[in-house]
Chains A and B, each alone.
Chain A
Amino acid sequence: MRPQRYNALTSQYFAAAAGAGVLEGARVGRGAAGSRLQGTWVQFDLEVHNERISAARFLAFGCPHTIAVCSRVTELALGREIHASLPDGIDSLRAQFDVPVEKLGRLLTVEDAWGAAVAAARRRAEA
């Protein structure tokens, strides 16, 4: 029995947290945003082949919504073209996970970490 403040999708992704971890390699770009002191910190590792994401991992210090969204993002990203905005978009993710408006800042941290990882992956590809 989880507290009622999370919808089923949030509970499912928070519990499983698939996609957690780190990636290593020449094709991996890493980006992070937020801070533990502020309560939310997120890191994404993206492995890119031919402009498409072949692997994605995350680390997150944050609330269940933050962890669930990060997990979903790494799942959605696989096989997609690399793009600075979050797979499915922040508004759609917020709706899917029923993220309360006061937590919007945490989703923006997820988006910032994603954007930083995409930029790092592109730099790796160009190098």
Chain B
Amino acid sequence: MSAIVYLDHAATTPVDPRVAAAMAACLTADGAFGNPASTAHAYGGAAHSLVAKARSQVARTVGAEPAEVIFTSGATEADNLAILGAAEYYRSTGRHIVTARTEHKAVLDPCRELERRGFSVTYLTPDRRGVVEVAQVEAALRPDTVLVSLMHVNNEIGVIQDVAGVAGACARHGRARLHVDAAQSVGKCALDFAGSGIDYLAVSAHKAYGPKGVGALIVSQQRAAQLQPQSFGGGQERGLRSGTVPTHQVVGMGLAFEIAAGDLQGEGQRLAALSDRLWRGLEALGGALRNGAAERCVPQILNVSFEGVEGESLLAAVSESIAVSTGSACASATGEPSYVLRGLGRDERLAESSLRFSLGRPTGAADIDAAIGAVGRALGRLRRLSGCRV
């Protein structure tokens, strides 16, 4: 598989070897395998110390206090806990939620569940750049709005939303709490939870060279954000997420976040140059349309629709050379093209014939050139096969 260039880092990243080593040291009898809640003995105490260190590392990376970090099984659980937990906690003050059509399913599906429970949800449509304007959120707020949920960095197109502006709108409203899905943000953007006005922030480890199966919800104590727990049995994580804290997972997450935060600017500049090189190369192939406003996107994610080719064939044609994601879901259970790209106004065909290139730490210029070559060959062949001129 090493011959295939991996450009799907927004889906997941390989675990950093330093992280893997730190995790391994928490698993076996000669390591910190104890239950971190069993602080009465040394085994539990050692694990407890490592969990505390990891909590501090995660908090420092996102600009929060350690006590605000609630470890979960990932960003999906964190999103569910925030949305369902906040909506149920504040149910007596209102039953209206505001979110966007381009949110991750981990946000949209809990919102649909809340609709089944009697809440009403306003789904905002971003503009053609993929941006949800603060004014749109402000206009959607109602006296009974209890929660706004908006992602920081969109997972398909990489657009950064103005969550600080939205936090301002929520503050002016007075009652609306703000949840932000920041699963794609760590290692891509600087985060300042304390100064952001955000109430709940969901983060994931495996998007930042940490392990799968662990994430966190940051719950603001400064803003006295409250939640109704969604799971019970043990009272761990301030009673908000019961269950034994997996020491190896959170240790991996903490170290991965610390490493990611360490060279945010340098890595960002390096990947911006590579992303620009990739876009210029793809644009030169003809019939390439960039999805999302370039000036608002993180450099790690480049989403492009290609004219004159069918999406499933495009993905099949490039898959021997590069690992990317597609806007086409022809073979998925839904059979629907990307709802995010459709939400941006792309027609069904262009939404299907899109590729998401997501760059990461191992990506180099040779990988970018290989990707441009692979896409160029696929486009040329498929366009010839269909008699299409672009």
A1-B4, A36-B349, A39-B310 known; A64 and B386 CB under 8 Å? no
Does B331 interact with chain A (Cβ within 8 Å)? yes
The one of B310, B315, B348 in contact with A61, judged by C-beta atoms closer than 8 angstroms, is B310
Interface residues in B189-204 by Cβ distance below 8 A to A read none
Interface residues in B289-313 by Cβ distance below 8 A to A read 309-310, 312-313
The one of B310, B331, B381 in contact with A62, judged by C-beta atoms closer than 8 angstroms, is B310
Does B384 interact with chain A (Cβ within 8 Å)? yes
Compute how far the CA of A39 lies from the CA of B349 in the bound complex, rounded to whole angstroms: 7
Compute how far the CA of A61 lies from the CA of B319 in the bound complex, rounded to whole angstroms: 18
| Interchain CB contact under 8 A, A102 and B312 | no
Does B316 interact with chain A (Cβ within 8 Å)? yes
Q: Which residues of A contact B331 (CB under 8 A)?
A: 3, 5, 100
Does B320 interact with chain A (Cβ within 8 Å)? yes
Compute how far the CA of A39 lies from the CA of B348 in the bound complex, rounded to whole angstroms: 9
A39-B349, A39-B352, A41-B386 known; A63 and B335 CB under 8 Å? no
| Interchain CB contact under 8 A, B381 and A63 | no
A3-B319, A102-B335 known; A60 and B352 CB under 8 Å? no
Does B233 interact with chain A (Cβ within 8 Å)? no
Q: How many residues of chain A have a CB within 8 Å of chain B?
A: 24
Q: B interface vs A, CB < 8 Å?
A: 1, 4, 309-310, 312-313, 315-316, 319-320, 330-331, 335, 348-349, 352, 381, 384-388
Does A37 interact with chain B (Cβ within 8 Å)? yes
| Interchain CB contact under 8 A, A60 and B320 | no
CB distance from A109 to the nearest CB of B (A): 12
Q: Which residues of A contact B381 (CB under 8 A)?
A: 17
Does A125 interact with chain B (Cβ within 8 Å)? no
| Interchain CB contact under 8 A, B330 and A1 | no
Q: Which residues of A contact B320 (CB under 8 A)?
A: 1-2
| Interchain CB contact under 8 A, B4 and A61 | no
Known contacts A37-B349, A61-B386; can you find 5 more A-B pairs with CB under 8 A? A2-B320, A39-B310, A39-B352, A63-B310, A67-B313
Compute how far the CA of A61 lies from the CA of B390 in the bound complex, rounded to whole angstroms: 14
Compute how far the CA of A6 lies from the CA of B320 in the bound complex, rounded to whole angstroms: 13
CB distance from A34 to the nearest CB of B (A): 11
A20-B385, A60-B385, A63-B310 known; A1 and B316 CB under 8 Å? no
Compute how far the CA of A72 lies from the CA of B4 in the bound complex, rounded to whole angstroms: 28
Interface residues in A35-74 by Cβ distance below 8 A to B read 36-37, 39-41, 43, 59-64, 67
The one of B315, B352, B385 in contact with A67, judged by C-beta atoms closer than 8 angstroms, is B385
| Interchain CB contact under 8 A, B387 and A43 | yes
Q: Which residues of A contact B330 (CB under 8 A)?
A: 63
Does A14 interact with chain B (Cβ within 8 Å)? yes
A39-B352, A61-B310, A63-B330 known; A2 and B386 CB under 8 Å? no
Does A22 interact with chain B (Cβ within 8 Å)? yes
